[in-house]
Amino acid sequence: MREITHFIDGASVAGTSGRYGDVFNPNTGEVQARVALATAAEVGAAVGSAVRAQQTWALVNPQRRARVMFEFKRLIERDMDALAEILSSEHGKVIADSKGDIQRGVEVIEFACGIPHLLKGEYTEGAGPGIDVYSMRQPLGVAAGITPFNFPGMIPMWMFGIAIATGNSFILKPSEKDPTLPVKLAELMMEAGAPKGVLNVVHGDKVAVDAILDHPDIKAVSFVGSSDIAQYIYSRGTANGKRVQAMGGAKNHGIVLPDADLDQVVKDLSGAAFGSAGERCMALPVVVPVGKQTADALRERMLSEMQSLRVGVSTDAAAHYGPVVSQAHRQKISDYIQAGVDEGAELVVDGRGFSLQGYEKGFFIGPSLFDGVKKGMRTYNEEIFGPVLQIVRAETFEEAIDLPSSHQYGNGVAIYTRNGRAAREFAARVNVGMVGINVPIPVPVAYHTFGGWKRSAFGDTNQHGMEGVKFYTKVKTITARWPEGAVEDSAFVIPTMG
């Protein structure tokens, strides 16, 4: 059976713990590989390599570091088809979604290519008599990223792209469910010209995570995953003196006002709620139509739209989405659907009985639709992370604002309306970190910043954009004065080549 190894100091390194995780093909339900789970000592070896590499990498000028980013981008684009196939084979998302996953990561690499400009500090001439003040951004040292299964290409690149461009070295601990692509990315980074040790990949579970959080040479940790683990990462990391950004769960709402274009709403909901099998922290699993007439019309059109959804294997170009990542996750989604029924919500479409001919052992689940979901229900309060859309009816605009504002999560929200004043007021008042206006998944472009509020994020700095540059650097401020007569005039000689 294929074994997925660590990538340390520029080379493949076999695991020594004797512990392994199974890597499934979600389309067939079969185990296709096993991944070594790291010991604390193996994490330490990766950190040692990163420390050595960072000492010289930090001295490379920003323009030359940017050239490595440019080459890394070219290599990913060269290998896009093969990388997407790897991603789909372990995650289950369709090829088009896998390419989108990788492309959104590449966009952050493109942003990192501008690092010479982004690292420029500030300068004040004559802050006092003969005194100038200026600042510079310098790397932290070694940074680490702990990433989830749902975006094994995009999220690692969100982290290590900016960290490496700013002069840090990086330890990546990807999900053990789909670990092959992150290793390929590290290999491409070496091919692009980064020195060995600048990007290391260690696989593992809580043992590896705790080793990262406790290691004194790791100065910053970035995390994306569930809120409970995000809070744990943030608490333990900051207690050890690290800079930490930890992104948690979500329950994103889509508000539909009576004047909305329902054809556009339904089309957007189909992709935002069911695309990638709903395994996205920026999915749109809750729709809030305002008024009975709006809700009834939306439900009718959504039913019709759902009948056209095609669930298939990840290589099926006509499929809208593929299997979920594991049998355990499929069961978790099914359990949430049953909980919704038990709580009294109306299960309009039940996807639990879906089976794909020839792939009966695959981790497939059909699209589901609830109506009559109420605030306070467990299935409303918690993140299902599957192809389940819930209709939560609101009678007024104020009620619609309150639902996402008072929810424990505050990652993203969308509003559909033709009324600019209503949209403007909603965007200003809603207690959520990212807002879409007639946009279902408001993930900002790479040169802006990504981050939610409340239990969707722990820490003060967001992902990518200038917030990312700030997270992976520290500011040094210099106040300088050069008194007259301190140096003989003869010392002011322009150097020549000789």
Q: Which of 53, 281, 356, 391 is an active site residue? A: 281
Number of CB atoms found within 10 A of residue 477's CB = 10
Is residue 281 flagged as an active site residue?
Answer: yes
Q: Classify the phi-psi angles of 206: left when phi > 0, otherwise alpha if psi is within -120 to 50, otherwise beta.
A: alpha
Just list the catalytic residues.
281
